[in-house]
Amino acid sequence: MGTWRALRAAFILGSLVTSLLIMVYWDDIGDLTLSPLQGRGNGSRQCPSCPRAAAGPRLAPSTDRTQSTSSFAATTAAKLTVEGTTGTTEEQKQGEEEDREEQREEEEEAEEETREGEERGRSPASVDGREQEERKQRMMDVCSGKDAAEFPGRTRTFEQIPHKELDHLIVDDANQIIYCYVPKVACTNWKRVMVVLSRSLISPSSGKPYSDPEAVPPRLVHNSTLYHNLTSLMRPNDSQSLHQMAHRLQTYTKFLFVRDPFVRLISAFRNKLDGANEQFYRDFGRGIVRRYGHVSGSLPESVSEAIAAGLKPTFQQFVTYLLDPDTEKKRVFNEHWRQVYRLCHPCQVKYDFIGRLETLEPDADRLLRLLKVDHLLRFPSGPHNRSAVSWEKEWFAEIPVTTRRELYKLYEPDFELFGYPEPDVVLHP
């Protein structure tokens, strides 16, 4: 009996000591338990060996290969002056939203990011992979000559591409991404994503790099000083530069987004030549009206005067301009109507992801997952617009069928490379 009482007393004493220890060290235990959960709630990746993160997402790892990008971002931020409003964060957000709406009304770009008939909800991994493989295989087949399409530059090597023609391939060393931007294919929003990932633009409201793509003013993202591109990174006859570029092309995730070629062409005309765009009127509009509209005498100096006088370029004049046999003119095609194969060199750059504007939202979600940044940001959303078929019927109504077929030949490589069918409504009315 004495032994039993001794054991009982020892058990009670041990329990009391254990309880005291738990109470004394409760704060430390609580920290060890809550930290992983907090990280998970913030959308961060779980990593037992990672140090506790500071407030806010970290978009780029702190390694040697990011130092040049950080320095570049700091220098760029010092050079750029961003117009902003003062006041609370909510007031700043409201001002930026109003700025975005005004920009959309002026340029109509966001209205063209998606269209009727967009595929939604197809997100199973097996479908994702098969769809991407089909797109990439199609591009490889055309580049290898298996299909009938032939186009300049198909068989040249990457080294044979003039450096100035690589300016549309944006490089983000910190996140190991290369993006080839195609005007009129949601490129403003993808540039906003690249700005956030590279941390290259400071928000005037927070004094820190933007973390939300939708908050980045769209009028600023086309500033070339925000980015590195292959043209700026490659130095002719420099073996080290060429070696570094080869390494990037082999190891970085490379992507682009494309669009039905004729719909993209119509979009470019509407936005740049049919609207009140002063720069494009001076650079292209007046010359097109004079040469293909057979207008003699002086032409209005400003686009507003041209609109009032009814002397804007017509779509038919624009198409005639594109088909002009002058080879010099073809070499200087503006980026808004230059063919994608000339902008992005798909036969020389092995892209890991090919997105389409027609399936923008699901493709954007898939790509952000592929880049492993989906926990950091979301792709900016945009309104819907009309379908490609209605656009083509309307805009090509006054264009002779023979001219339509000549235009198709000019853009046929893009149709073939990216799997867009012949537009029967245009070619065979």
DSSP string, 336-353: TTS-HHHHH-TTTS--SE
Above 50 in pLDDT, residue 25? Answer: no
- The model's pLDDT over 284-299, given as tens digits with 9 standing for 90+, comes to 999 999 999 988 888 9
When mean pLDDT is compared across 41-50, 111-120, 126-135, 268-277, the lowest value belongs to: 41-50
d(CA 109, CA 72): 29
Long-range CB contacts for residues 195-199, cutoff 8 Å, separation at least 24 = 195/221, 195/226, 196/59, 196/376, 196/377, 197/59, 197/60, 197/172, 197/373, 197/376, 197/377, 198/60, 198/69, 198/73, 198/172, 198/174, 198/226, 198/227, 199/59, 199/60, 199/70, 199/73, 199/174
Strands (E), 44-163: 114-115
How much is the pLDDT for 429? 83
How much is the pLDDT for 94? 45
How much is the pLDDT for 364? 96
Above 90 in pLDDT, residue 402? Answer: yes
Beta-carbon contacts of 74 under 8 Å, excluding residues fewer than 6 positions away, are none
How much is the pLDDT for 296? 83
The pLDDT of 420-428, averaged and rounded, is: 93
User: What is the average pLDDT value for the chain, to the nearest integer?
Assistant: 77
Query: Where is mean pLDDT largest: 62-66, 387-391, 425-429?
Result: 425-429
Above 90 in pLDDT, residue 174? Answer: yes
Is residue 77 within 8 Å of 223, Cβ to Cβ? no
Give me the residues paired with residue 202 across strands: 209
When mean pLDDT is compared across 121-130, 193-202, 269-278, 349-358, the lowest value belongs to: 121-130
Would 90 be classed as within a structural domain?
A: yes
When mean pLDDT is compared across 76-80, 168-172, 252-256, 333-337, the lowest value belongs to: 76-80
How much is the pLDDT for 383? 58
When mean pLDDT is compared across 87-96, 244-253, 257-266, the lowest value belongs to: 87-96
Q: What is the dihedral of CA 347, 133, 382, 340, to 10 degrees?
A: 10
Instruction: Please provide residue 333's backbone torsions phi and psi, each rounded to the nearest 5 degrees.
Output: -45, 130
Above 90 in pLDDT, residue 408? Answer: yes
The pLDDT of 229-241, averaged and rounded, is: 84
d(CA 313, CA 292): 9
How much is the pLDDT for 93? 52
Above 60 in pLDDT, residue 56? Answer: no
Is residue 218 within 8 Å of 192, Cβ to Cβ? yes
Grade residue 219 by pLDDT with cuts at 50, 70 and 90: confident
The pLDDT of 301-310, averaged and rounded, is: 94
Higher pLDDT, 336 or 121: 336
Higher pLDDT, 227 or 97: 227
The pLDDT of 18-44, averaged and rounded, is: 39
Would 171 be classed as within a structural domain?
A: yes
Question: How many helices and strands (H and E) does the chain possess?
Answer: 19, 7
Place of tokens 């198409």: 319
How much is the pLDDT for 44? 35
Above 70 in pLDDT, residue 1? Answer: no
Would 153 be classed as within a structural domain?
A: yes
How much is the pLDDT for 237? 75
The pLDDT of 97-121, averaged and rounded, is: 44
Grade residue 260 by pLDDT with cuts at 50, 70 and 90: very high
Would 115 be classed as within a structural domain?
A: yes
Would 403 be classed as within a structural domain?
A: no
Q: How far is CA 346 from CA 13, 157, 163, 243, in A?
A: 76, 11, 15, 20
How much is the pLDDT for 232? 87
The pLDDT of 186-201, averaged and rounded, is: 94
d(CA 160, CA 165): 11
Would 198 be classed as within a structural domain?
A: yes
d(CA 214, CA 361): 15
Would 17 be classed as within a structural domain?
A: no
User: How many domains is the chain partitioned into structurally?
Assistant: 1
Place of tokens 């207008």: 295
d(CA 273, CA 334): 12
Q: What is the largest CA-CA distance in the chain?
A: 124
How much is the pLDDT for 297? 83
The share of the chain scoring above pLDDT 90, in percent, equals 54
Name the residue range of residue 367's domain: 67-260+343-386
Instruction: Please provide residue 229's backbone torsions phi and psi, each rounded to the nearest 5 degrees.
Output: -130, 170
Beta-carbon contacts of 232 under 8 Å, excluding residues fewer than 6 positions away, are 167
Above 80 in pLDDT, residue 17? Answer: no
How much is the pLDDT for 353? 98
- The model's pLDDT over 94-108, given as tens digits with 9 standing for 90+, comes to 445 444 444 544 445
Beta-carbon contacts of 376 under 8 Å, excluding residues fewer than 6 positions away, are 43, 57, 59, 196, 197, 211
Give me the residues paired with residue 258 across strands: 356
How much is the pLDDT for 78? 38
How much is the pLDDT for 382? 66
Above 90 in pLDDT, residue 302? Answer: yes
Grade residue 128 by pLDDT with cuts at 50, 70 and 90: low
